[in-house]
Structure 1
Amino acid sequence: MAMMMMMGSSPCGFENVTRQRFQAAAHVRPPPLLHLLRRCSSPEDLSRIHALVVKIGGPPHLTSHLLKAAVEVESATLRLPSSLFARISRPDISAFNVMVRGYAQSESPLEALLLYSTMLETSVVPDRHTFLFIIKACGRLNLLQEAMAVHGHVVKAGFSCDVFVLTALIHAYAIVGRLESARQLFDQMPERDVVSWNALISGYCRGGRVGDARKLFDEMPVQKTLASWNAIIAGYVQNELYRKALMVLNDMQCKKVKMDVVTVISALSACASLGALTIGEWLHKYVARIFKCHVISWNPVSGQLIGEELQERMSRAKTLTEGHDKRLALGNALISMYSKCGHINKALLVFEAMPVKNVISWTSIIDGCALHGEGRRALNLFNRMKKTVVIPNAVTYVAVLRACSHSGLVNEGMLYFDEMLTEYGIEPQVEHYGCMVDLFCRAGMLDAAYEFTMSMPVQPDVVTWRNLLCGCRTHGDHQLGRIVADHIMQRGLQEEEGLCVLISSIYAAGGRWEDAAYVRKKMKRCGIRKTPGCSSIEVDNMVHEFVKGDKSHPKTREIYDMIADMMKNLRYSENCSPNFFD
C-alpha cells in the first residue's frame, strides 16, 4: 500500500518508475536484463523479455543480445531470430554473424549461404567468425565448389594464416572427400594447434584412411586432448575395427586420460559389435559412477516469475536439458550394447530406468527384442510407444517388421506394414519391403514372398533377393529357387558374394550342374571369394576371434582337438547335405 502511494494511484506510476530504472540500469555493466538473456531457455521466456524491451525501450546494443538469445533458444527453425533480424534496418557484421552461425548449425544450413551472399551484396565485410560459420555450412551441405570459393574469399580477406579459419577449411575439405586438399592445406599451415591435428585425423577416419589417421595421431607433437583420443577411437569404430578401438581405449586408460560421454558411446558400440560384455559392463559402471545425475522435474517458467527467481529457473532449465541429452545418448548406447551381447533383460532394465526416452531409445529396445525372438514383447513396447509423445519413424517400423518376421507374426506384420502409411505417412522403403519378404519366407509362404517381391514399387535390393533365395533353400522349394536365381542372373546382381554362393547351391540342388559350375567360375574370374565363417567369444576380459581355416591362434592345436572331439560326440554323419556348410 505504501509502495502504491509512493508511485501514485495509477498503474502508470509503476510503469514509469520501471522504465526509468531499466534505462538507468542499461548503462551498468552488465545490465540485469542481459543476465536473463544469457540464461533464456525457451521461446516463451524470450518472447516475454522481447515484449518488455519493446514496451519500455532500451539501448541499441540490446537488439544484438536479443538476437543472440533468440538463436540460442530457437536453434531449429529460427523463426523468431529471422523476424528480429528483418526488423534491423542496417544490420552490422555482428548481426549477420549471429544469423549465419544460427543457420549454419540449424536444419537449414543453405540459408547461411544465402545470407552470406546478401551480406556481400550490402558491402558488409566478413570477419573471422563469418568465415568459420560459412565454411561449416559448406561442409554440412557437402558443397565443394562453394567451399573453394569461400577459401578464395579467405585469402583475399587476409585470413590465409589464421589457424582457426584454416582448421575449419581442413574439416570442410575432409567432409566433401577432398582429403588431399585437406592434407595440403594442413602441411602449408604456418602453425598448427591440436584442433588442426584432430580435424585431419577425423577427416582421414571419415574417408576410410584409418592407417593415415593413426600415423598422424602417433606423430602429434602437441599434447593430445580428449578430442584426439575420441577421434581415433570413433574412427576405428566407424571403419569396423572394433578390437583396435578397444586397444586405444586401453592405452587411454593407461595414460590416465579420463573418458567423456563421446568416448563411452564409441567404446560401447565397439563392445556391442564384438560381444565384449565384460568391458561393456565395466563401462556401464563407469557411467553410473562418473556421469551420475538426479532426475529433476520442472515446470515451464511462469509469466509471474521475475528477477532472480526467473533467472535461476532459466539457468536450471538449461542445465537439465544438457543432462537429459547426455543420459539419452548413454542410455541408448547401453541398450544397444546389452541387446547385441545377448542380454536383452539388462537392456530392458536400462530402458525402463531411463527418465526420458526418444525415438532412438524405443527403436533400439524394440529391435533388441526382435533379434532375441521376443516378437510379442517388441510389439507390446511399440504399442506403449504409440501412447507417448514420441512418434515412430521409418527405422522404428523396420524394427517392428523384423520382430514380426522373427516370431512368425504374419498377420501383425501385414497390419503394421499398412499402418506405416495410413497412420504416420511413412512411405515404405526397400528395407520395409525386404522385411515383409523375410516374414513370408520364414513362415513358409514362398509364393506370397515371390509375388510380393515382383510387385514391389521399388527395385528389390540384394538383401531382399538373398532372403528369398534362403527361404527357397530352407523350405526345399528348388523350382522357385531356380526361378529366383534366374531373375538375379538376368539383373546382373550375381556378383555379390553371398548371392553367388546361394545361386550355385540352388542350381546344384536342382541338378543344374552346368549353371552351378558357371556361377563358380564367374566367382573365380571376378575374384569373389566366400568369406570364411567367423565367430568370437569373450574369456577373462579378452575377446577371442575364430576364423574358419585360421591357425594363427596360440592354442590352435588344443582348439582343433576339441572340435574333433565335439564332432565325434555329435556323431557327425558324412551323408549330410552337400549344402550343410554353405
Structure 2
Amino acid sequence: MIRKTIGTIPTVPNLKTLKQIHALMIINGFETSNVLFLRKLVLTTSTSLVGPTATPTVTNYAHQLFAQIPQPDTFMFNTMIRGSSQSPDPLRAVSLYAQMHYRSLKPDSYTFPFVLKACTKLIWVNTGSAVHGLAVRFGFCSNTFVRNALLVFHAKCGDLKVATSIFDDSCKGDVVAWSSLIAGYAKRGDLKVARKLFDEMPERDLVSWNVMITGYAKQGEMESARMLFDEAPVKDVVSWNAVIAGYVVCRLNRQALELFDEMSRVGGVYPDEVTLLSLLSACAELGDLENGRKVHAEIMEISMGKVNTLLGNALVDMYAKCGNIEEAIHVFWSIRDKDVISWNTVIVGLAFHGHGEESLGLFKEMLRTKICPNDITFVGVLAACSHAGKVDEGYRYFDLMRSEYKIEPNIRHCGCMVDMLGRAGLLNKAAEFIDSMKIEPNAIVWRTLLGASKVHGDVEFAKVANERLLRMRKDHSGDYVLMSNLYASRGEWDGVEKVRKLMDDSGVTKNRGSSFVEACT
C-alpha cells in the first residue's frame, strides 16, 4: 500500500498531502529503512519551493525532509538548490552549495546555474565571483547553461567587463546571451551600448525587445521607448506595462491612460497587477475619477470581487486624491489584510481633505489592531490635528512619535506642526517652533508661516517669512502675491507697491490661473 501511495504523489502537491504521506511512511517504518521513498518525497516537495506554493512553511518543511537523508548525493543537492534558488528565500540555495563543499561533493553543470541565480537575486557579488572561479576550476564555463548564468550574474550585479568578455563568438547565436548582456547595459543606464548590441542581434526575441523598451522607459526616454514599442513585431503584457509605467513615472499620465485604451482595443493581452497599479497612479495624479472607476471595475472583474492589499491600497489612494473620500473608506474596509500602508493611505487621505476627527479616529483604531505606525502615519495624524484645530493633541502626538516609536521628526512633520499652529493663529509659537527645529526649515515651512500670517493679518511675521523665502529663491511669484495681498487687505498700498517693484526688479511674473473641476456623481 505504501509503495503504491509513494508512486502516485502528485507532481505539484499541497503541503497537507505531503505531510499525510510522510506520516504514513513513518507509521509503516519506511522513513528510515528505505531512503529511496524519502528521496522521492524530498524530490516531490522541492517542486513546491517555486511559485505561489512557496510559503515559508513549505520551504522549511522541504529542508527538514532533506536534512533526514543520511548521505544526499549531488543530484539531491542540485534538486534542492534549484528549488531554493527560485523560491522567495534564495539564501538557502547558497547555504546548500556550501554544504556540498563541506561534504566534499563535486558540483556539476547543473549546480552552478542555480547557485549563480541565487547570488544574482541576492546581489551577492563576492560570493557569485567565487562561484565563477570554481566553475572555471572545474571546467564548466564552456557549458551553455553555466555560461549564460555567469553572463546574467555579471550583467545584472557583477562586472560588465567580465560579462562582455564571456560574450564571445560562441554566444553570437544564443539569443539568451544577447538579451542578458543588453539587459546589463540597459540596467546600468548605458543605453547607447545596449542599443548597439540590440541593433547587432542576428535574431531578436520578445525578451530582447522588452529589455530595450524597459531600459528607455526607466531612463525617462519615452520617445525612444514608444518608437521601439510601436516597431516590436509581438507585444506581451510586459511590453505594454513598460511604456505605461514609463509614462506615469514621467508624469505623462494622460498618455498612459490612452495607451491602456489602445491595449484594450487591440485585444489578446490582458492587464495584470502591474498594469492596474500604474493606471491607478495615473488616475490619482490627474484626479480622473471617471477612469479611476473604470480601472476599479477592471480589478473587480479580474479578481472576482476580491481585492488584494496592494491594489486595495492603490484604490484607496486614488479615490482619496480624486476627492471621493466615501469610496476611499469603503475600499479601505474591504481590504482583508490591511498593512501599515493601508492605514496610512486612508489616514492621510482623510486628514488632507479636512476630515481631521475621522482621521484621528482611524489612527486610534490602527493602534488597537497592533499595527505599528511609521513616519508617514504621523504626517497624517499631525495634518489631522491641524485641520481639526487640536493643538494640544498635536503636541502630544508629536512627542509620542519620538518617545514611544523612536521616529525622528522630518521636515514634513515640522511643516505640519507649523501649519497647525498657524491655522490656530498661534504665530508666535509657530515662529518659536521653527527656531527650535533641528533641521533646516525649507521653503514650504516658511511659506506656511507666510500664508498663516496673511490669513491672520500679521505683517511682522509675514515680513520675516517673506525675507527668508527670498533668500532661498526669488523667482516664486506666489510668495510675492501673498505678501502683496496681505498689505492690500490692510490698506497699506505703499507696501503693495514695494512688493510689485521687487517683483519687477527680480524679473518675476505672475502665472495665469487655471482650474479643473470634475463632478462626482
CA distance in structure 2 between the partners assigned to 1:497 and 1:201 by the alignment: 39
Q: Does 1:135 align with 2:158?
A: no
Q: Does 1:398 align with 2:379?
A: yes
CA distance in structure 1 between the partners assigned to 2:431 and 2:386 by the alignment: 16
Structure 1, gaps ≥5 residues long: 1-11, 139-145, 295-325, 542-582
Residue in structure 2 matched with residue 61 of structure 1 by the alignment: 75
CA shift for structure 1 position 531: 4.4
- Cα 1:227–1:459 change in 2 (3 A) is same
TM-score by length of 2: 0.81
In the TM superposition, what whole-angstrom CA distance separates every residue of 1:211-234 from its partner, at most 9, and x where no partner exists? 2222222222x1221222222222
Map 1:84-163 onto structure 2 (within 5 A): 84-89=96-101, 94-106=110-122, 109=123, 112-122=124-134, 124=136, 125=141, 127-137=147-157, 146=159, 148-155=160-167, 158-159=170-171, 162-163=174-175
Please state whether the residue corresponding to 1:476 is helix, strand or coil.
Answer: coil
The one-letter code sitting in structure 2 at the alignment partner of 1:154 is I
Please state whether the residue corresponding to 1:250 is helix, strand or coil.
Answer: helix
CA shift for structure 1 position 354: 1.2
Map 1:177-326 onto structure 2 (within 5 A): 177-220=189-232, 222-256=233-267, 257-292=269-304
Structure 2, gaps ≥5 residues long: 1-24
CA shift for structure 1 position 113: 0.9
Residue in structure 1 matched with residue 473 of structure 2 by the alignment: 493
Q: Does the CA-based 8 Å contact 1:171-1:182 persist in structure 2?
A: yes
CA shift for structure 1 position 150: 4.0
CA shift for structure 1 position 522: 2.3
Residue in structure 1 matched with residue 505 of structure 2 by the alignment: 521
Q: Does 1:51 align with 2:79?
A: no
Map 1:467-506 onto structure 2 (within 5 A): 467-490=448-471, 492-496=472-476, 498-499=478-479, 502=482
The one-letter code sitting in structure 1 at the alignment partner of 2:79 is H
Please state whether the residue corresponding to 1:413 is helix, strand or coil.
Answer: helix
CA distance in structure 2 between the partners assigned to 1:49 and 1:197 by the alignment: 38
- Cα 1:159–1:435 change in 2 (3 A) is farther
The one-letter code sitting in structure 1 at the alignment partner of 2:240 is W
- Cα 1:537–1:507 change in 2 (3 A) is closer
CA distance in structure 1 between the partners assigned to 2:506 and 2:340 by the alignment: 44
- Cα 1:13–1:245 change in 2 (3 A) is closer
Please state whether the residue corresponding to 1:386 is helix, strand or coil.
Answer: helix
CA distance in structure 1 between the partners assigned to 2:223 and 2:367 by the alignment: 45
CA shift for structure 1 position 81: 4.6
The structure whose RCO (Cα within 8 Å, separation 6+) is larger is: 1
CA distance in structure 2 between the partners assigned to 1:50 and 1:213 by the alignment: 44
- Further displaced range: 148-157 or 452-461: 148-157
- Cα 1:169–1:412 change in 2 (3 A) is farther
Q: Does the CA-based 8 Å contact 1:507-1:513 persist in structure 2?
A: no
Residue in structure 1 matched with residue 8 of structure 2 by the alignment: none
CA distance in structure 1 between the partners assigned to 2:195 and 2:485 by the alignment: 48
CA distance in structure 1 between the partners assigned to 2:254 and 2:310 by the alignment: 22
- Further displaced range: 239-248 or 83-92: 83-92
In the TM superposition, what whole-angstrom CA distance separates every residue of 1:499-551 from its partner, at most 9, and x where no partner exists? 46556666886717446423443244xxxx5444333244799xxxxxxxxxx
CA distance in structure 2 between the partners assigned to 1:445 and 1:66 by the alignment: 66
How many residues align? The count is 476
Choose the corresponding residue for 1:75, options 72, 89, 92. 89
Determine what percentage of the aligned residue pairs are the same residue.
35
The one-letter code sitting in structure 2 at the alignment partner of 1:362 is W
CA RMSD between the two structures? 3.3
Residue in structure 2 matched with residue 535 of structure 1 by the alignment: 515
Choose the corresponding residue for 1:511, options 472, 495, 508. 495
CA shift for structure 1 position 370: 1.0
TM-score by length of 1: 0.73
Q: Does the CA-based 8 Å contact 1:105-1:137 persist in structure 2?
A: no
CA shift for structure 1 position 389: 4.7
CA shift for structure 1 position 33: 2.1
Please state whether the residue corresponding to 1:75 is helix, strand or coil.
Answer: coil
